[in-house]
Every structure is written in structure tokens, then in C-alpha cells.
Amino acid sequence: MTFRAVAFVLLAFLPGVADAQTVLALDPSAGELPVAVAIDKVGNPWVSLQPICEVRRFTPGWQESLRVQLVTPCTGGAGSSGLAVDATGVAYAAVIVREDVRGVYAIQPTGTFERLPGTEQMIFPNSLAFDHNNGTLYVTDMIGGAVWRIPQGGSAELWIQHPALTGIPIPGAGIPGGANGIAVDHGHVLVSVSFLPRLVKIPINEDGSAGEPQILFDTGRFFGIGLFALDDIALDVFGNIYASIVAGPPAVARLAADGTAITLLQPLLPGAVTSVAFGTGKGERKSLFAATNPQYGGTAASVVRLSAGAPGRPVP
């Protein structure tokens, strides 16, 4: 594999990006540690909270409208993880706990929920993303160095497991910091591998199988392996990639679609950034919502709004 030359500007910020605005303040002492944020088609934000295995839905004005406890007790693992919402308003949440209950759960708009078949096989289900073309849900498995796929109405199946998706051990945790954030766009899947860090592009073959992974860029080559870590990712309409930085400068990085440049959105945020999602409501398509989690650095458990300067890709 060949690597693109990356013009990496670690602490040079994009001009004209508005200051962050806190839209949701949470209480870390109550276990309200946000790990993922997703915005549904009509602008309702969803937030998953770690380590209490809880998912909350809010109105576009950030008033709580639903609270769901997925696992009780929430023990034997990291708790809640990634989120995605389909076109009907059903949310899908990953839970990383003991073997008998871990997996991916579908949460109906009424609050009822069930675990999707086959997802109990995942070791560390992390981030989720839909294919807009056919409704297939893709899920990263960080420890497994893998991506799973869940066809509409079907069971989870291992889509790809590959060395390119396997990271080095997370400092202090002893588990591989591999496949983490995920996005689907124009016939390929993008995956962030946290503790290298790198971004991997995987083609979707005509029959739905995975093609040969390509390393779009590998920042460890320029700044040392494990210096910082990428987490969740989101795409704008131009194909630029927005990545949350969960270890390193508490910020959101914008990565050019062709892998030639990385720049940070200003300002630095009050906590480690675990998730990013574009707004979908009126006047919000250029807004990027970021979850900050003091469990991994900083002080604030919150969701903040940033201006990305470009609209996000439409949600399913």
C-alpha cells in the first residue's frame, strides 16, 4: 500500500469558524458521560451515555423527550457506545457489556427496544452507520479489528476483518484501539482506526461484499503512533471527513476527502471529543454537534455546537 503525503497542521485552526456553544450540559457524577450523538431526519438529537447504558432523545430545541435504559445493571464492560437513526426514527445503539446482553439494540420511537439477532457475536461493537442506498447498517468492532453488516430485517454478519483495521493497545487499557468511527459514502465504507491513528477506505463490491481495504492516510507515520486518537467520523457534502479527537488536543479535525490535509476546527473544546454528527433541521445543516467526555480528558460532559462551514451529508 502507498501513503499519500499529508500536509498535517496540528494546531492551525480553520479561519472563520464560530466559537463552540454548549447545547446540553450533563452531570458526570451521575454517570452522564456522553459517548455518541446522532441527529435524526427531523432534527431530533439522540445521545448515548456511558457507563450507564442509557440513550436519551431530545427535541430540536434540546428538551428531553425520551429516556431508555438498555441494560440493567450496566456492568461487565464499557456501557453504551455508538448511535445511528434510520428514516423512520428508529435509533440503533451499541452496548459493550457482558456477553449475555452486549450487541446492537433497535429503539422504537415509543421507547421499546430489542437486541438485533447476530450482534451478540461482536466483541466490542462501537460505531454505526447506514448505507443510504439500501438501509444496510454497518458496525465497527474495535477489539475484533472488524466491520459487521446488518441488512434490513436480517441478522448481523461479519463483513470484513483485516490487519488494516487493527490498532495498537489503548494506553492503560491493554485492548486494541482498532476500528472505531464509521461512515458510508458513494460505494465505500470509511473507518477510523483509533490508536495508530489512520483512516481506512473499504470498497463495497456489487454483491455487497467488502473489497480490499486502502489506507487513505496514516497519521502515525507523521506524528508517532499513539500520539493522539481519532474516534467518530462524519462527512460533509464535499466528502470532507470530520473526526472527533478522543486523545490529544480536545477538538474536531477536518480531513480532506483525498487525504492531503488535516486541520482542526477551532476552538479547543472543554473535554475529549467522542462523537460528531451534523445537524439536519432547518438552519442546522452546517452545524456540527460534538460530544465531550471528561472520562478521557478535560472537564465537561456536554454536547456542543460548532459551525463546520459546509452542510453535512443527508441522513437516511
Query: Exposure of 15 by Cβ count < 10 A (0-12 exposed, 13-18 middle, 19+ buried)?
Result: exposed
Count other Cβ atoms within 10 Å, centred on residue 88. 10
Are 82 and 125 contacting, i.e. CB atoms less than 8 angstroms apart?
yes
Predicted pLDDT at 173:
73
Domain ranges for the chain: 7-307
At the second CATH level, the architecture of 7-307 is 6 Propeller (2.120)
Predicted pLDDT at 226:
47
- pTM equals 0.92
Query: 10-residue block means of pLDDT along the chain (316 residues)?
Result: 34 51 95 96 96 96 97 89 96 94 97 97 96 94 96 96 89 82 95 88 96 84 56 94 86 83 80 94 93 90 94 88
